[in-house]
């Protein structure tokens, strides 16, 4: 039970301190109780806490939209607000769908998404998701996307080596679009990292190739940067790393520095203009949430962006990313660490019963959860995805703090997976 926080540490009701090793589920950027964000929210409270964006605008939302346009890839000039990552993606899907109706191409209705994708928990976003454990039960409720292979070097079923994997996966996409592009509205992708799938990294060049192919076949590219946005991958947005400008981009998680629920869907003038017309043309995009463009959240987001600029946050990430890589290299040799994966400050450490034969732990052993429970004893809060131990520290973490947190993870992995743990009858709940 968390009662308070200080910097990158959480404090429970008994006064125990824990490193926030997953940034409060991938949202926190500059640590907790960051004075500039606290003050921005209080200042906005002295003006107005909330007004509707239906037929009105508000100053923080207006100013933030301008700044988001300034920092996102070229061409993303229009901003539509909502409240969380799922709604940001939902908006992108509906916008893409309706866009083609206004273009006189109503047959373009399908979406392409990747195997093992995660785009949120609402019905539309679950439809384009590909994680069986989360999504199977809702199947009768969903629309069906065209799934293409996930280009993760490790899990790709088409190829063993990264470069080959990217090419083969792109070739599958090209084939699908060659046959079906007249029915395809858009392709949605988590650029560079499939996060909820267990931090699966795309091979270099894949994203740029997807952009090239979607452009060739006149299919809208939707970049879901909900997890990767705001510096997580080492650049402000993952798309920058392959010079990709998508047609729509979904942002949330880090947008307020991890303070308040807020999301934005950005798009191009071309998509925006398709919705213009007189009343009788009935081109309105009927989507809006009660708390859309909430002024307190937008004030927090403006303070967040100001800190990025003033503290040169992106410029300072290099040594932190390098420290993570060094510590991970040390961890990769552990007997039960199958693979370590890193993209900027996004890390997945995959546990394996037998790494040489690639034998996973059984589901019942809950190896990932056991490691995370052990880490908590040493003052670190992390969460697993299956047997992938996830480490996603706030960007503000110092190199020393990063080293300490990864030392705790290494110790926890070593202890939990030690000496035939799998065979000694010890239950995960004993750990």
Ligand X SMILES: *Cc1c(COP(=O)(O)O)cnc(C)c1O
Is 253 flagged in the annotation as binding?
yes
Cross-strand bridge partners of residue 113: 147
Per CB under 6 A, the list member of 20, 84, 247, 401 interacting with ligand X is 84
Per CB under 6 A, the list member of 93, 156, 196, 238 interacting with ligand X is 196
List the one residue out of 184, 229, 236 whose CA is nearest residue 210: 184
Could you please report the per-residue DSSP string of 146-193? Answer: EEE----TTT-SS-SSHHHHHHHHHHHHHHHHHHHGGGEEEEEE-SSE
Q: Report if residue 100 touches ligand X, rule: CB under 6 A.
A: no
Give 20 or 224: the residue with its C-beta nearer to ligand X.
Answer: 224
Give the HSE-up count for residue 88: Cα atoms under 13 Å, Cβ half-sphere: 29
Is 85 flagged in the annotation as binding?
yes
List the one residue out of 388, 406, 385 whose CA is nearest residue 397: 406
Q: Give, in degrees to the nearest 5, the angle at Cα 198 between 195 and 202.
A: 60
Is 84 flagged in the annotation as binding?
no
Whole-number minimum distance, CB 29 to ligand X, in Å? Answer: 15
Whole-number minimum distance, CB 194 to ligand X, in Å? Answer: 8
Token pair in block for residue 288 = 């809006």
Per CB under 6 A, the list member of 21, 120, 258, 384 interacting with ligand X is 120
The span from the CA of 107 to the CA of 117, in Å, is 24
Binders of ligand X: how many residues, by CB under 6 A? 15
Whole-number minimum distance, CB 111 to ligand X, in Å? Answer: 14
The span from the CA of 333 to the CA of 418, in Å, is 14
Residue list 217-236, contact with ligand X (CB under 6 A): 224, 226-227
Residue list 23-42, contact with ligand X (CB under 6 A): none
Is 202 flagged in the annotation as binding?
no
Rounded to 5 degrees, what are φ and ψ at 159?
-160, 160
Residues 273, 77 contacting (CB under 8 angstroms): no
Angstrom CA distances, 112 to 122, 144, 181, 303, 315, stand at: 17, 9, 10, 36, 35
Whole-number minimum distance, CB 184 to ligand X, in Å? Answer: 20
The span from the CA of 387 to the CA of 337, in Å, is 10
Q: Report if residue 93 touches ligand X, rule: CB under 6 A.
A: no
How many residues are given for the chain?
A: 431
Is 370 flagged in the annotation as binding?
no
Is 86 flagged in the annotation as binding?
yes
Q: Is the dihedral of CA 115, 142, 90, 212 positive or negative?
A: positive
Whole-number minimum distance, CB 89 to ligand X, in Å? Answer: 6
The span from the CA of 100 to the CA of 53, in Å, is 26
Q: Are strands 2-6 and 9-12 parallel, antiparallel or unpaired?
A: antiparallel
Residue closest to ligand X, measured at CB = 85
Q: Report if residue 190 touches ligand X, rule: CB under 6 A.
A: yes
Per CB under 6 A, the list member of 21, 31, 85, 258 interacting with ligand X is 85
Whole-number minimum distance, CB 117 to ligand X, in Å? Answer: 8
Applying CB under 6 A, which part among 36-44, 64-72, 189-197, 328-336 lies near ligand X? Answer: 189-197
Is 66 flagged in the annotation as binding?
no
Give 188 or 352: the residue with its C-beta nearer to ligand X.
Answer: 188
Q: Which residue ranges make up the annotated binding site for pyridoxal 5'-phosphate?
A: 85-86, 224, 289-290
Binding site for ligand X (CB under 6 A): 84-86, 89, 118-120, 190, 195-196, 224, 226-227, 252-253
Q: Which residue ranges make up the annotated binding site for substrate?
A: 118, 253, 288, 383
């Amino acid at each position: 039970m968390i009662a308070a926080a200080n910097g990158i540490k959480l404090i429970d009701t008994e006064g125990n301190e824990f490193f926030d090793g997953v940034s409060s589920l991938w949202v926190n950027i500059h640590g907790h109780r960051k004075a500039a964000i606290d003050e921005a929210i209080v200042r906005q409270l002295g003006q107005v806490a909330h007004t509707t964006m239906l037929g009105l605008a508000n100053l923080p939302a207006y100013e933030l939209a301008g700044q988001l346009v300034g920092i996102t890839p070229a061409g993303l000039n229009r901003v539509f607000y909502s409240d969380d990552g799922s709604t940001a993606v939902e908006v992108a899907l509906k916008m893409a769908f309706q866009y083609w109706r206004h273009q006189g191409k109503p047959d373009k209705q399908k979406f392409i998404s990747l195997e093992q994708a995660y785009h949120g928990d609402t019905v539309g976003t679950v439809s384009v998701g590909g994680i069986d454990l989360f999504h199977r039960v809702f199947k009768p409720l969903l629309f069906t996307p065209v799934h293409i292979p996930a280009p993760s070097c490790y899990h790709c079923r088409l190829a063993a080596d990264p470069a080959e994997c990217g090419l083969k996966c792109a070739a599958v996409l090209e084939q699908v679009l060659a046959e079906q592009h007249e029915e395809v509205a858009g392709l949605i992708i988590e650029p560079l990292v499939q996060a909820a799938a267990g931090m699966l990294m795309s091979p270099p060049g894949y994203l740029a190739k997807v952009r090239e192919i979607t452009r060739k076949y006149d299919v809208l590219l939707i970049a879901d940067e909900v997890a990767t946005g705001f510096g997580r991958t080492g650049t402000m947005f993952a798309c920058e790393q392959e010079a990709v400008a998508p047609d729509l981009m979904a942002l949330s998680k880090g947008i307020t520095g991890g303070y308040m629920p807020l999301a934005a869907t950005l798009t191009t003038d071309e998509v925006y203009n398709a919705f213009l017309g007189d009343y009788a043309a009935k081109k309105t995009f009927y989507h809006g949430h009660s708390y859309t463009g909430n002024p307190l959240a937008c004030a927090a987001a403006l303070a967040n962006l100001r800190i990025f600029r003033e503290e040169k946050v992106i410029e300072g990430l290099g040594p932190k990313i390098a420290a993570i890589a060094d510590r991970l290299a040390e961890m990769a040799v552990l007997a039960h660490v199958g693979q370590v994966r890193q993209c900027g400050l996004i890390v997945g450490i995959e546990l394996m019963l037998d790494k040489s034969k690639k034998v996973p732990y059984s589901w019942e052993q809950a190896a990932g959860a056991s490691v995370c429970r052990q880490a908590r004893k040493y003052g670190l809060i992390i969460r697993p995805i299956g047997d992938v131990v996830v480490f996603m520290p706030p960007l503000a973490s110092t190199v020393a703090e990063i080293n300490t947190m990864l030392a705790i993870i290494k110790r926890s992995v070593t202890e939990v997976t030690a000496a035939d743990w799998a065979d000694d009858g010890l239950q995960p709940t004993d750990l």
